[in-house]
Structure formats: structure tokens, C-alpha cells
Amino acid sequence: MLPTDNDMEAVMRRMITYRGFEIHVELTPATQDTFDVAVQIKGGTNPEALGGKGGQVLLRNGPFTERWAYLVGEVAGQAAIDALLGSVD
């Protein structure tokens, strides 16, 4: 079954590159104007550094407005990469 227009609008995605990795941020509607946020990190020269299965991580303390949701997702992804690689000097 093909997705409808409503299904296409249900989940919003954005990809941000950071230090050789891709941070995939996915927003799922929680209420009319708020979203739950999931983050997945892909890429890099050493995929094993991501550990586990490299799956999505649902962020806590939400839901958030759209603008905050993307910001929180991006910052969480950057912090995870910085924790793996060390801080940028």
C-alpha cells in the first residue's frame, strides 16, 4: 500500500554532517505542534566506533516544538560524536 499525503507529513527528517559523520534527525508528531525526536549517527571512517547496532535513539524530555526538536537532535548527535572522537580543539 502506498503512503498517503498525511503519512508523508507524519514524520519529518533532516540530515546534518558533522566531523565526517551523518546525524539523522527524525521528528514524529506527539501533539498538534510538538514532536518526539530520534537521532541516528551514520558514516565516518570507523563505523565500529558507533557501537551497538547503530540504531535510532529516542531523546528524552520531549516533546519539543519543531524548531527546538531539530536543535536538540543536532546537538545530541554532535555531543555523541564528540564523546567518541574527543572534543574539537
How many other CB atoms are found less than 10 A from the CB of residue 33?
10
Band the pLDDT of 43: cuts 50, 70, 90: confident
Interval 12-35: pLDDT, tens: 999 999 999 999 999 999 999 999
Q: Of all residues in the chain, what percent carry a pLDDT higher than 90?
A: 62
> At residue 4, does pLDDT exceed 90?
no
Interval 50-63: pLDDT, tens: 555 668 899 999 89
E-state strands within the chain: 12-18, 21-29, 35-43, 57-58
* pTM score: 0.79
H or E segment and range at residue 41: strand 35-43
Number of domains in the chain: 1
Residue 73 lies in domain: 5-85
Give me the DSSP letters along 8-21.
HHH-EEEEEEETTE
